[in-house]
Amino acid sequence: MDKNYFKKTRILDGGMGQELLYKGLKPKGTLWSAHALIEKNCHKMVVDAHLDFINAGAEVIVTSTFTARKNRLIQNDSEKYFEEINIKAVELAQKARDISKKGILIAGGLPNQKQTYSADLGKDLNVIEKNFFDQAKLLKNGIDFFYLDVMSSGLECEIALKAIEAYNIPVLVGIHLKDDGKLPSSETINDIVTKYKNNNWLGIITACVSPKAYELVINDLQKLEIPYGFKLNAFKKIPEGYTVASKDQWGNAGNPNTVLGVNSDLNESNFYEYVKKFKENGATILGGCCEIRPSHIKEIAKLI
């Protein structure tokens, strides 16, 4: 693909996992969107969710693989589905793209391989690297680029980038920021770009962050010499020490927003105003994450 793709303003999709729950997905434990890949009768729901974002104006869709990572499947006694569902996620994204008959790009979503929103990778970093490698291997055929989704430390970025290096596929790096404008590791965006940027980078975005967190780093982003932007979430608050290590705490009707809440103030109109402001300050990669729906994306698509 064109390495300069994100130098022009581009619209990304929103939160696939939460959209599937809105569409009626009945999650099992903490599988969430992965459950829609395991259950064949939910595959149409995944395609339809992708299409809803495409029809709203998204130019890039991310494979629904955030909870298809090996660690989450192990937590839910579902590791046997690992290969099958990651391959299927790419196929379903391709199907949505083909149905749309639009020039949509597909990002292979590579999520954090341990705990979301945490810099703690555990003691065995070789396992983390292998898990990145194994998931990337399943996604690489049929995608346009990798998307590192919600990286929480420089070390996590380093391991992920090393794991996918052999594939020589472009990558968009998505780092998570807390509401103090820093990664959970206490590093800054500049730290990440300075230490880990390589020739395959398409740009960097703040992944699954609040508008407040993004506002704190606007000046820092403007100093970077690469395309940048965001996937904003509409969770109310991500508490310190948030964990989904135990599937039992969620039960079969689990939904992340039961713990994280929903920021009802971030409606379509307010989302548009935030994105418009951020675009005027240099962002070219515009999108949403959890609780950001096709109706939100439709609003910001008006910006281009």
Its pTM stands at 0.96
Domain residues for 164? 5-303
Residue 293: what pLDDT? 98
Residue whose entry in the numeric block shows the structure tokens 């407040």: 212
Handedness of CA 60, 259, 176, 158 (dihedral sign): negative
| pLDDT tens across the length of the chain (304 residues) | 999 999 999 999 999 999 999 999 987 888 889 999 999 999 999 999 999 999 999 999 999 999 999 999 998 999 999 999 999 999 999 999 999 999 999 999 999 999 999 999 999 999 999 999 999 999 999 999 999 999 999 999 999 999 999 999 999 999 999 999 999 999 999 999 999 999 999 999 999 999 999 999 999 999 999 999 999 999 988 878 776 655 555 545 567 887 788 999 999 999 999 999 999 999 999 999 999 999 999 999 999 9
Q: Can you name the residues that pair with 110 across neighbouring β-strands?
A: 148
Residue 175: what pLDDT? 98
Domain count, the chain: 1
Residue 261: what pLDDT? 83
What is the domain-level CATH number for residue 126? 3.20.20.330
In whole angstroms, how far apart are CA 189 and each of 15, 169, 182?
23, 22, 7
Residue 172: what pLDDT? 98
Q: Give the closest residue to 285 by CA, choosing from 3, 13, 1.
A: 13
Residue 26: what pLDDT? 87
Residue 240: what pLDDT? 80
